[in-house]
Structure formats: C-alpha cells, structure tokens
Amino acid sequence: MHLRFLGLMVMVVFLSACAEPMNKAQKGALFGAVGGALAGQAIGKDTKGTLIGAAAGAAIGGGVGHYMDRQEAAARDALASVEGVNIVRDGNDLYVTFRSDNQFEVGSFVFNPAAQQDVARLGQVLAQYDKTNILVAGHTDSTGSEELNQTLSERRANAVNNILLAQGVAADRLSIIGFGESVPMADNGTVAGRQQNRRVEIKITPK
C-alpha cells in the first residue's frame, strides 16, 4: 500500500512537470513534497508519516524557491541599466556575471568608478537577502602568462568581494576564487571571445 502511494506521488510529479510551466517556487514545492514524502515514509513507516513529510517538504521547497524568486527580481531591477551584466537562474542558484572590461582597465584590478557603483547596487540587494551564500569568481582571457592571469583573476574577485563587504554583506557568506584563464566561455582566438572571457561571476545559493 505504501509503495503504491509513493508510486502515485512520483507519477503526479512527472505529469505536473510535463503540464503547464511552473515558476521556480512551484517547482521547489513540488519536488520538496516528494523528497519530504520519502523522508516521512522512511521515518514514520506509514501513510500518515508520508503525508506529513510531503507537507513539510513542500513548505521548505516552495519557501526557498519563493525567496530566490524575490532576490532574482530585486537583482534584475537593481542592474537593469547596467551594460555588460548577465543574470541567469539555474534551479535555486542565481548567477550574476559582470564583464570585467566594463569594470577594469586591461591588466588592472582597480575598478572604474561607474562599475564600482554597479557592483555596490548588487551588494545592497545581497545584504537585504541574507539567507544565501555567495561565491565570487574571477576569470581572465589567455593574454599574458598563466601565472599573471591567475593572480589578476584573484585580485579582481577580491575587489568585487570588498565592495560587497562595504555594502553590509556578511563576511561569512562570502567566498572568493580565481580561475585565471582556465575556464573560458568563448574563443580566446577572437577579440569578442577574449572580451567575454574577462569576467567576474557571482554565484548566489540558498543556505
């Protein structure tokens, strides 16, 4: 009986995912319900435990999705007029990418004044939505030595990190990493490709 009940829930999830498009919060609630149901079944060993687990999982999954929906909307609004910024949502993870040639002079990790304000606006949003962790990653193109590019990517990531700290983002939420030229997103053999590869990416994930 219990296995049939769980099988029915999985089928409902599959059919729901194939039906009308859902926003991130709805998807989080749906899959949270299944995860909670499985946990409830394992712990409670009965249908009642399954139902309680499903309800709890739906509340948690939906709550996280809704929280990230609101944070994404606030980030898009704050950066709507900024050139060279890209915002992508992947599940409950949010990625904000600043093209570094709009922020730094070539070979420099000192911010252009206008770009500093752009990052500060994002920092104000992140300070408000404090139930997330933030990874700041610096990248370069392949011009110059690998050692130089590695150092430059770390210093650019740290420059962004310092602005976020200045806007009130807690230090224990922040991590930085430099990838140098090792993770290109475009062809370094073209001017346009190198421009895309010079970037700082900010990954925002729920705690």
User: How far apart are the C-alpha atoms of 186 and 193, rounded to whole Å?
Assistant: 5
CA-to-CA separations, 171 to 70, 150, 202, in angstroms, rounded: 22, 23, 15
User: How far apart are the C-alpha atoms of 127 and 90, rounded to whole Å?
Assistant: 21
CA-to-CA separations, 118 to 72, 167, 170, in angstroms, rounded: 16, 12, 19
Going 152 to 167 to 76 to 177, the CA torsion angle's sign is positive
User: How far apart are the C-alpha atoms of 205 and 207, rounded to whole Å?
Assistant: 6
Whether 161 shows a pLDDT value over 60: the answer reads: yes
Q: Flag the least confident range among 52-61, 111-120, 124-133.
A: 52-61
**Where do the DSSP E strands lie in 47-193?**
85-90, 93-99, 132-139, 174-178
Render pLDDT for 136-157 as a digit per residue (tens, 0 to 9).
999 999 999 999 999 999 999 9
Render pLDDT for 20-46 as a digit per residue (tens, 0 to 9).
555 555 555 555 554 554 445 555 555
The domain spans of the chain are 2-71, 83-206
Residue 183's φ and ψ, nearest 5 degrees, are -125, 70
- Counting beta carbons within 10 angstroms of the beta carbon of residue 148, is it exposed (0 to 12), middle (13 to 18) or buried (19 or more)? middle
**End-to-end C-alpha distance for the chain, whole angstroms:** 36
Choice between 159 and 103, residue whose per-residue pLDDT is larger? 159
pLDDT of residue 97: 96
pLDDT of residue 14: 44
Render pLDDT for 163-205 as a digit per residue (tens, 0 to 9).
999 999 999 999 999 999 999 999 999 999 998 899 999 999 9
Q: pTM of this prediction?
A: 0.72
Contact 98, 115 (CB under 8 A): yes
pLDDT of residue 99: 87
- The domain 83-206 belongs to what CATH superfamily? OmpA-like domain (3.30.1330.60)
Whether 5 shows a pLDDT value over 70: the answer reads: no
Render pLDDT for 52-108 as a digit per residue (tens, 0 to 9).
554 554 445 569 999 999 999 999 999 999 988 999 999 999 999 998 878 888 888
pLDDT of residue 46: 54
Residue 50's φ and ψ, nearest 5 degrees, are -65, -45
